[in-house]
């Protein structure tokens, strides 16, 4: 039979058994009582295994010669047989006992009386024996003596078991305590009154580090914190005590010791009936991690910004070229207009040409500025086709006239949830590469498709699900497998210095990944390349309201406008145009003048119309000041592009984008100055 006790016991030999028996306080008394009651001279408690007999406790008045830890050869003992049979052996007088008179054991050890009672642990395991011997015969086989031995053996078995389970429970407890104590994360346990019941070393080390003193059992934990943190701590603990296991991040500690941010995990503690009797938390100082994340975020922002600048550089070249063309149209139109005796019809055509050209120029700068505005990654649902449509109009500017741009869009809008600016940037990056690959001549195809599956790519398996696939194909030089393997690395470029930065495709790749998408490339050397951007397809967004027919220019009806504009040309134009439309105007050249006019008599104005970029106080600050001093007076801002707006927004004020048409100007002014009137006019 295998020994059921832990292997460690066997490894240590029998020392544990000897100690276990010795630790039972009653053992010497038991051995004394046994000897006195029976008149025998030697009594012992022995541990008997299937191959050893070891004395654990001994009373020896006959110089038998055994001590605790002493051993007899198992085969020479009767205990060996008792272990197998599990029953006691009692011999009053060996010489007269038919079963034992010829037995080798009495002969060997020279005894005439013998009694041995098995010690069995409560779980039924055989431990050993309680035995006694003497050279003289003794009267043992009586119910009283056998009963006494049985009772003592049971008592010893019971104690051994109790001590053993206590020891293993203590060991287990020590183990857990060691684990908790050596954990570097602060752990503390509290009861339903918010009192500390227990904590580990790290708890007090860390508490001291950030608060300058330590805690003790019985402290009302939240009360140890500065007031605003005490409230937070109490609320956190209350949640756990209400039975919720959860995680929070919060700042704890005093300013003078640094106030780290902690991630704290709460776990309620329940009794057998499931009732919460307390809870514990484990805390981690995550300040360093948060700092690292912020730094990474900053680094990524910088990278994104340089990727964007790269694209803007590309676009600016194209725009500048186109702009010169547009300016040429305007210049020649104005030259023609100056000619005397111009027929009215011609005159109209030239004016029309100028107006159209200005619209196109405005659109170009608008698109360029939309790119340039620094925006953080902000996913939103938008129609990919709309973006592609707007962008493909610009691609011609980018690629030059000998490259044909073909756009293939599906009938239905495909919606994606991604950052629209990054989406545009990615398309421009791929288009610029396509242009470069074609060396000035070929076809660039932009295609949008709704697909149900993303093909396997770079060791990733195929992914099922609705996707939008946007591909840009060129008929250019293509790529070798070596180049293909590296194109997404930041700064990898095969282009000459000044021609390429190697940032384009890393932006495309980063954008695809951030948007839970992928970018797939197919390329054949000498034939061309197709880049396909896969983005998860989502349900439609709210449809933008349909634009109605443009309404004719509205009349100012004597509405009084305070125009704030530092540029003389623009100011002259605005005031003259407004006067022609029936507005009354006062023109201030900067914020100071404007505030002076208002201080004079604010009541004469219906609305203030101010430029944003001005020397001195800017338009946004002026608008705020006016709102403060003259709360009822509406303010409209106007700007081409301003870093003030890019950084702080319009502060809630209406913005009219430059360049604006006279019609837009009057409409906006009226809408803001007298909303009721405008409504009536447009209802008519």
Q: Which residues bind Mg ion (CB under 5 A)?
A: 433, 504
Taking CB under 6 A as the binding criterion, the range among 49-57, 201-209, 469-477, 603-611 that sits at the site for ligand ADP is 469-477
Contacts of 104 (CB under 8 A, 6+ apart): 76
Main-chain dihedrals φ then ψ at residue 121, nearest 5 degrees: -75, 160
Paired tokens of 219: 């402290």
Contact by Cβ (8 Å): 17, 54: yes
Residue 518: asked if its preceding bond is cis (omega within 30°), the reply is no
Of the pair 433, 473, the CB lying nearest Mg ion is at: 433
**Which is it for the CA torsion 448, 453, 455, 460, positive or negative?**
positive
Main-chain dihedrals φ then ψ at residue 652, nearest 5 degrees: 90, 0
311 is a site residue for ligand ADP (CB under 6 A) = no
The CB-of-516 to ligand ADP minimum distance in angstroms stands at: 21
Of the pair 420, 504, the CB lying nearest Mg ion is at: 504
Of the pair 421, 529, the CB lying nearest ligand ADP is at: 529
From candidates 476, 510, 517, 571, binder to ligand ADP by CB under 6 A = 476
Helix, coil or strand: residue 444: strand
Query: Residue 487 binds which one of ligand ADP, Mg ion, none, with CB within 5 to 8 A depending on kind?
Result: ligand ADP
Q: Give the N- to C-terminal CA distance of the chain in Å, as an integer.
A: 106
Binding string to ligand ADP for residues 517 to 536, with x set by CB under 6 A, is what? Answer: ------------x-------
**529 to 568, contacts with ligand ADP by CB under 6 A?**
529
Of the pair 242, 302, the CB lying nearest ligand ADP is at: 302
Cα 350 vs. chain centroid, distance in angstroms? Answer: 60
Query: Residue 577 binds which one of Mg ion, ligand ADP, none, with CB within 5 to 8 A depending on kind?
Result: none
Of the pair 442, 571, the CB lying nearest ligand ADP is at: 442
Main-chain dihedrals φ then ψ at residue 633, nearest 5 degrees: -90, 120
**491 to 510, contacts with ligand ADP by CB under 6 A?**
492-495, 500-506
443 is a site residue for ligand ADP (CB under 6 A) = no
Of the pair 158, 492, the CB lying nearest ligand ADP is at: 492
* Helices and strands (H and E) in the chain: how many: 20, 23
The CB-of-470 to Mg ion minimum distance in angstroms stands at: 17
Query: Residue 607 binds which one of Mg ion, ligand ADP, none, with CB within 5 to 8 A depending on kind?
Result: none
The CB-of-662 to ligand ADP minimum distance in angstroms stands at: 43
Query: Residue 592 binds which one of ligand ADP, Mg ion, none, with CB within 5 to 8 A depending on kind?
Result: none
The kind and range of the H/E element at 248 are: strand 246-251
User: Cα separation of 241 and 226, whole Å?
Assistant: 22
The CB-of-311 to Mg ion minimum distance in angstroms stands at: 9
Cβ neighbours around 546 below 10 Å, total: 5
SS3 annotation, 178-216: HHHHHCCCCEEEEECCCEEEEECHHHHHHHHHHHCCCCC
Query: Residue 501 binds which one of Mg ion, ligand ADP, none, with CB within 5 to 8 A depending on kind?
Result: ligand ADP
Of the pair 508, 578, the CB lying nearest Mg ion is at: 508
Of the pair 492, 573, the CB lying nearest Mg ion is at: 492
From candidates 267, 483, 551, 576, binder to ligand ADP by CB under 6 A = 483
The CB-of-315 to ligand ADP minimum distance in angstroms stands at: 14
> Of all residues in this chain, which one has the CB nearest to ligand ADP in the complex?
504
417 is a site residue for ligand ADP (CB under 6 A) = no
The burial class, CB within 10 Å (0-12 / 13-18 / 19+), for 47 is buried
Of the pair 49, 433, the CB lying nearest Mg ion is at: 433
211 is a site residue for ligand ADP (CB under 6 A) = no
Main-chain dihedrals φ then ψ at residue 71, nearest 5 degrees: -130, 140
Paired tokens of 165: 């389970």
SS3 annotation, 29-96: HHHHHHHHHHCCCEEEEEEECCCCEEEEEEEECCCCCCCCCCEECHHHCCHHHHHHHCCCEEECCHHH
From candidates 77, 433, 471, 668, binder to ligand ADP by CB under 6 A = 433
Query: Residue 476 binds which one of Mg ion, ligand ADP, none, with CB within 5 to 8 A depending on kind?
Result: ligand ADP
Main-chain dihedrals φ then ψ at residue 518, nearest 5 degrees: -150, 165
Query: Residue 89 binds which one of Mg ion, ligand ADP, none, with CB within 5 to 8 A depending on kind?
Result: none
Of the pair 434, 614, the CB lying nearest Mg ion is at: 434
471 is a site residue for ligand ADP (CB under 6 A) = no
The CB-of-309 to Mg ion minimum distance in angstroms stands at: 13
Of the pair 8, 499, the CB lying nearest ligand ADP is at: 499
Contacts of 543 (CB under 8 A, 6+ apart): none
Binding site for ligand ADP (CB under 6 A): 429, 433-434, 437, 474, 476-477, 479, 483, 487, 492-495, 500-506, 529
């Amino acid at each position: 039979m295998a020994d059921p006790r832990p292997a460690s016991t066997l490894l240590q030999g029998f020392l544990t058994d000897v100690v276990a028996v010795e630790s039972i306080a009653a053992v010497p008394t038991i051995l004394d009582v046994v000897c006195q009651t029976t008149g025998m001279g030697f009594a012992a408690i022995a541990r008997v295994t299937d191959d050893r007999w070891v004395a654990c406790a001994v009373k020896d008045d006959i110089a038998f010669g055994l001590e605790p830890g002493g051993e007899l050869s198992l085969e020479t003992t009767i205990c060996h047989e008792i272990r197998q049979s599990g029953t006691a052996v009692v011999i009053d007088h060996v010489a007269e006992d038919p079963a034992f008179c010829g037995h080798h054991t009495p002969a060997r050890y020279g005894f005439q009386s013998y009694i041995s009672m098995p010690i069995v642990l409560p779980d039924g395991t055989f431990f050993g024996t309680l035995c006694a011997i003497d050279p003289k015969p003794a009267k043992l086989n009586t119910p009283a003596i056998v009963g006494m031995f049985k009772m003592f053996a049971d008592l010893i078995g019971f104690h051994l078991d109790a001590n053993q389970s206590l020891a293993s429970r203590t060991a287990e407890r020590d183990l857990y305590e060691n684990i908790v104590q050596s954990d570097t994360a602060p752990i503390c346990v509290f009861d339903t009154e918010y009192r500390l019941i227990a904590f580990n070393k790290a708890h007090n080390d860390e508490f001291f580090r950030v608060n300058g003193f330590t805690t003790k059992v019985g402290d009302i934990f939240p009360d140890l914190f500065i007031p605003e943190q005490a409230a937070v701590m109490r609320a956190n603990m209350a949640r756990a005590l209400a039975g919720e296991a959860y995680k929070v991040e919060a700042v704890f500690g005093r300013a003078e010791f640094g106030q780290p941010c902690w991630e704290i995990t709460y776990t309620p503690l329940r009794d057998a009936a499931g009732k919460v009797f307390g809870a514990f938390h484990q805390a981690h100082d995550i300040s360093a991690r948060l700092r690292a994340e912020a730094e990474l975020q900053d680094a990524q922002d910088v990278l994104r910004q340089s990727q964007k600048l790269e694209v803007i550089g590309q676009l600016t070249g194209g725009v500048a070229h186109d702009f010169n063309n547009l300016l040429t149209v305007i210049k020649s139109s104005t030259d023609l207009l100056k000619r005397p005796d111009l027929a009215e019809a011609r005159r109209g055509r030239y004016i029309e040409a100028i107006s159209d050209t200005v619209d196109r120029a405005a659109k170009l700068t608008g698109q360029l500025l939309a790119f340039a505005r620094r925006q953080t990654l902000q996913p939103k649902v938008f129609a990919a086709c709309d973006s592609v449509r707007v962008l493909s109009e610009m691609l011609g500017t980018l690629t030059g006239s000998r490259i044909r741009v073909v756009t293939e869009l599906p009938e239905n809008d495909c919606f994606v949830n991604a950052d629209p600016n990054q989406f545009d940037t990615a398309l421009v990056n791929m288009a610029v590469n396509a242009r470069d690959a074609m060396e000035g001549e070929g076809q660039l195809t932009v295609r949008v498709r709704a697909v149900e599956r993303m093909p396997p790519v770079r060791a990733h398996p195929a992914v099922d699900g609705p996707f939008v696939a946007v591909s840009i194909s060129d008929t250019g030089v293509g790529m070798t497998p070596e180049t293909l393997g590296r194109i997404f690395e930041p700064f990898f470029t095969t282009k000459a210095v000044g021609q390429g930065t190697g940032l384009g495709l890393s932006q495309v790749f980063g954008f695809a990944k951030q948007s839970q998408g992928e970018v797939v490339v197919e390329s054949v050397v000498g034939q061309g390349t197709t880049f396909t951007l896969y983005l998860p397809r989502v349900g439609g967004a709210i449809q933008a309201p349909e634009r109605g027919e443009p309404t004719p220019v509205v009349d100012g009806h004597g509405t009084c406008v305070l125009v704030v504009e530092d540029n003389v040309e623009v100011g002259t134009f605005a005031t003259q145009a407004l006067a022609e439309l029936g507005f009354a105007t006062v023109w201030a050249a900067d914020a100071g003048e404007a505030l002076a006019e208002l201080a004079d008599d604010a009541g004469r104005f219906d609305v203030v119309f101010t430029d944003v970029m001005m020397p001195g106080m800017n338009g946004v600050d002026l608008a705020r000041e006016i709102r403060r001093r003259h709360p009822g007076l509406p303010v409209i801002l106007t700007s081409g592009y301003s870093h003030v707006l890019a950084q702080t927004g319009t502060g809630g004020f209406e913005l009219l984008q430059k360049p604006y048409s006279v019609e837009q100007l009057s409409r906006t002014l009226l809408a803001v100055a007298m909303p009721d009137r405008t409504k009536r006019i447009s209802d008519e």
